[in-house]
Amino acid sequence: DAGVTQSPTHLIKTRGQQVTLRCSPKSGHDTVSWYQQALGQGPQFIFQYYEEEERQRGNFPDRFSGHQFPNYSSELNVNALLLGDSALYLCASSLWEGVYNEQFFGPGTRLTVL
């Protein structure tokens, strides 16, 4: 049973560029959440997708957008990159109707903005 997978593992971009990160949820899961983990900090919730719609959003600017596909996989897009966007981006999957909605995390994508 494959867990949550993310690609790429690492990414280096320059300020002003755009980036797309990808996530495939754990088999059987239908909900994907994205988190940003800055160095030395706990993960911060960006947004959550279910049935191809954004269901919840954290305190992140509109430069951060996402998409969920019919197969439940998801993308996180960040436009006009800033130095402060450098972080580990974590994807987590869960069941929308799950009793405790337990989230399973992927290994993350390390984004470096120069």
104 near another protein (CB under 8 A): yes
51 near another protein (CB under 8 A): no
For 37, other C-beta atoms within 10 Å of its C-beta total 15
**Minimum distance, C-beta of residue 105 to another protein, in the bound complex (Å):** 4
**Minimum distance, C-beta of residue 48 to another protein, in the bound complex (Å):** 6
106 near another protein (CB under 8 A): yes
**Minimum distance, C-beta of residue 16 to another protein, in the bound complex (Å):** 27
Q: Which is nearer to another protein, 91 or 113 (CB)?
A: 91
What is the number of alpha carbons within 13 Å of residue 77 lying toward its C-beta?
9
